[in-house]
Amino acid sequence: MADKKISDLNEVTSPNSSDVLPIVNSGETKKITVANLASSLVSTAVEVPTGDVDDSNTDFVFTKAPILVNVNGVFYRENNGWTIVGLIVTLAFPAGTGGDVYGLV
Model pLDDT for residues 49-97, shown as the tens digit of each residue = 999 999 999 999 999 999 999 999 999 999 999 999 999 999 999 999 9
Gap between the Cα atoms of 10 and 24, Å rounded: 20
Gap between the Cα atoms of 22 and 71, Å rounded: 40
Gap between the Cα atoms of 69 and 24, Å rounded: 33
User: What percentage of the chain exceeds 90 in pLDDT?
Assistant: 58
